[in-house]
Amino acid sequence: MSKTILLTGGAGFIGSHTYVELMAAGYEVVIIDDFSNAHRDVPDRLEVITGGKVTCYEGDVLDGSLLDRIFAEHDIAAAVHFAARKAVGESTEIPLEYMQANIAGLYSLLAAMKRAGVFTLVFSSSCTVYGDPDSLPVTEEAPRSFSHPYGFTKLTCEQSLEQIALHDPRWAFGILRYFNPAGAHATGLIGEDPNDIPNNLMPYISKVATGELERLGVFGNDYPTPDGTGVRDYIHVTDLAQGHVLSLKALLDSGDSHTVNLGTGRGYSVLDMLQAYERACGFDLPHEILPRRPGDIAEVYGDPSKAQDVLGFRAQLGLDDMCASSWNWISRRKNT
């Protein structure tokens, strides 16, 4: 049976780490990426890490004829769909573009898969589908909601996949609800390095550490959390990538769909993260307390037990690994 996997968005942050883990697990991997939020040198860096030639098509998942060509040129067994837009704030400014990229992009991929007779997909979802949960840790059975176009797109994609699987038993979907990805590959060759000023905490802190940004703005210190700052479930991107390998394996072995949280089950505050990063880089990082960011919730962390039961997944790497690997990556990148 074919062991070739199509990774959409495979040059991006989570996609590139998943490429490495899939190759290590013995899969062949084909990437499609439009490089709208990925650096051009990622395929070369993946070649250094894996020691093999990377097959990468440049293009958009909305391009059905390109997808048809990829499926014709490779014997693909399944796809992992990362390609999407992911900035909450931006989604409120250009909602239609988010719906086109995230919802129409998924439909375009599914239609091409169906034309090619490929019915197995791992989908990148988010804990954003839980909105502001009533109880913690949040389980997969918690009610879903949205409060911004980005969340709407993730929820709509999940519901679309559920309807398709319900009425067409050929399909098997792994819906992975990510908590907050952090860290970088142990080699320091790939990691997160947004082109613009980062929206997310970890890349922001890393750019304060390199001196590219002056200080971290902490969005609120009056939340009902132990130190007053927002609490999230940060998961090392290598753990997250391994979750995709396990999801694919389960889908290809059993043909049964699953929806699972990928988190650690532990919450850390903004100040916890800042202090952990200071330990990693070895110097103090300037910060100031700013007002709360509109739309932020106080606290969210996931119950990871279903992922363990269904996939055998358990996050291995902790906060210090996340910060040390991030610092290793970003400080090397700055010097290359």
- Name the residues that contact ligand UFG, by CB under 6 A: 86, 88, 126-128, 150, 180, 199-201, 204, 216-219, 230, 232, 270, 293, 296, 300
Instruction: Judge whether 130 counts as a catalytic residue.
Output: no
For residue 312, the minimal CB distance to ligand UFG (Å) is 25
Query: Residue 127 or residue 315: which is nearer to ligand UFG going by CB?
Result: 127
3-state secondary structure the chain: CCCEEEEECCCCHHHHHHHHHHHHCCCEEEEEECCCCCCCCHHHHHHHHHCCCCEEEECCCCCHHHHHHHHHHCCEEEEEECCCCCCHHHHHHCHHHHHHHHHHHHHHHHHHHHHHCCCEEEEEEEHHHHCCCCCCCECCCCCCCCCCHHHHHHHHHHHHHHHHHHHCCCCEEEEEEECEEECCCCCCCCCCCCCCCCCCHHHHHHHHHCCCCCCEEEECCCCCCCCCCCEECEEEHHHHHHHHHHHHHHHHHHCCCEEEEECCCCCEEHHHHHHHHHHHHCCCCCEEEECCCCCCCCECCECCHHHHHHHCCCCCCCHHHHHHHHHHHHHHHHCC
Tell me the closest approach of the beta carbon of residue 104 to ligand UFG, in angstroms: 19
Could you say which of 27, 57, 150, 178 is catalytic?
150
If the CB atoms of residues 188 and 203 are measured against ligand UFG, the closer one turns out to be 203
Give the Cα separation of 30 and 33 in Å (integer).
Answer: 10
Min dist. Cβ of residue 175 to ligand UFG (A): 15
88 vs 175 by CB, closer to ligand UFG: 88
Nearest residue (CB) to ligand UFG, 77 versus 218: 218
The residue sitting closest to ligand UFG, measured at its beta carbon, is: 230
Question: Which CB, 107 or 219, lies closer to ligand UFG?
Answer: 219
In angstroms, give the least distance from the CB of 269 to ligand UFG: 8
Q: What is d(CA 193, CA 207) in angstroms, rounded to the nearest whole number?
A: 9
**Closest distance between ligand UFG and the C-beta of residue 120, in Å?**
25
First CA to last CA across the chain, in angstroms?
41
Identity of the residue, 23 or 202, whose beta carbon is nearer to ligand UFG in the bound complex: 202
- In the complex, the smallest distance separating the C-beta of residue 101 from ligand UFG, rounded to whole angstroms, is 14
Query: Among all residues, which ones are annotated catalytic?
Result: 150
